[in-house]
A and B are shown apart, each in its own frame.
Chain A
Amino acid sequence: MPPTPAPLTVAPTPAQHSLRRARRRESMTAWAWISPSVLIILGLSVVPVIWSLLLSFQANDLVTPSRWVGLDNYRALAADPHFSEAVRNTLVYTVLYVPLSLAGGLLLALALNRRIRLVGIYRTLIFVPFVISAAAQGVLFSFILDPEFGAANSLLSRIGVSAQGFLTDPKQALLVLVAITLWSGTGFCVVVYLAALQDVPQSLIEAARLDGAGRLHLLRHVTLPTLAPVSVFLVLWQIIQSLQVFDLVYVTTKGGPLGSTTVIVYFIWEQAFKSFTAGYGASAAYVLAVALCVAGGVMRFVSGRAARREEGAAR
């Protein structure tokens, strides 16, 4: 953004003084206008980030003054089987959810990207679950998947399949959570891909058609490459979302059964606000933040390289 020129006409020497005064007044107005945002945003993010770091070196129960313990929290974290289980569960969840939601979103978007009747309704129905809160989703699916009273088992029994445990079965619970999030989260990918598909240059498609490109050819060599930047964004976005999953877990399984759905954020919440070991929770939060940072950095690197390659190809 170019530096904004002063909104006054160029002033000759006598007016220099008043110009400076106008500048100062502008500066004061600006500070008055940004001060609420600066106070709240920086006060409730920069300060807590530093505070969190300090907390992670302390033993703190949220009530009494805390005690400095150095790296003990991090050492304990490294040795804590519950934390490593939480990391493992989060990674499994992420590895399943991210590719499935992207692939599903892409396929649905390609199918929905045509002018046929009712297509608006299809898009709406597929996207609507995205605006439903995780709490409402969790409550709804706790009911549908209830082993005794749920509709899912009722349907299964009608087609002769024995009753499943779903969220109460340690082997299934995490997978069921992935499925629920796919139901609500795929619509986001669909909408983003659909918007990107509108931007595929029509001239490019026409040109390829004139050159005799078939449908699949067109898809592979024209459409998909133009979707690459959006896909990179979606991968990063979905990774961040899934590493931070919490609400749904809290509502449906509370980390159970047998710790099979304890994810990192649930672990942090449990340590800080249930066991009142806030310092320990803060250290786990820092580990998560570093992981998120790394994910972001890697994706930025990849997308930068992809963009450069694309530029090179275009030339």
Chain B
Amino acid sequence: MPSLEACVEVHDVHKSFKRGSEVLDVLNGLNLTVNQGEFVALMGPSGSGKTTLLNLIAGLDRPTTGSIRVRGEEISSMSEGQLASWRTRSLGFVFQFYHLLPVLSAFRNVELPLLLLPLSGSQRREQVRNALDIVGLSDRMWHRPGQLSGGQQQRVGIARAIVTDPALIVADEPTGDLDAKSADEILNLLVELKNSLDKTIVMVTHDPRAAERADRLVHLEKGRLATQ
């Protein structure tokens, strides 16, 4: 069971985008709390605002109004530099299309976030090996993404997300580009991360089977929470 300490607190968040002269309101006064160690799935139709919400929680964008706190830190008021540093230390991001750097081996891809931290070469190597061990890819660490299957690439993506030991992992349709078997493996891995490492996971998905693996399902509709 997840602990009851709040990890993510989204309070009265509005987000609008300008498209020419038109203002598009994507999130309208949204409130959401995700507890430490909780696995939350965000679902909703296209245009409901779930990826926008994910980007706000990940500090990739700022709300028009409202506040977002992650483990007590008010990220919506952080500067660009503070946000970048916060992302390195406190956040792991898993992309739908993996977004590994094709010229780098699995090891180097996983090592990328560690380059931004004051760690020695041996410390970096140890952390990368641990992360690749967790996702079961120690034997493929010197393979480039092109030499790995989709499921393996996503596991490298997850290793990159956890290598700095962040409290929060956000995943944007992590199984959207995978076959059913690989998708299942990835979901098992996310659940394992939550259970054994007490990671908080916020996952956007269109797949009801993926959503079933989460502790809680949150539906968004027209920028508001429909059900929790």
Please indicate whether A and B come from the same complex rather than being unrelated chains: no
Binding site for A on B (CB under 8 A): none
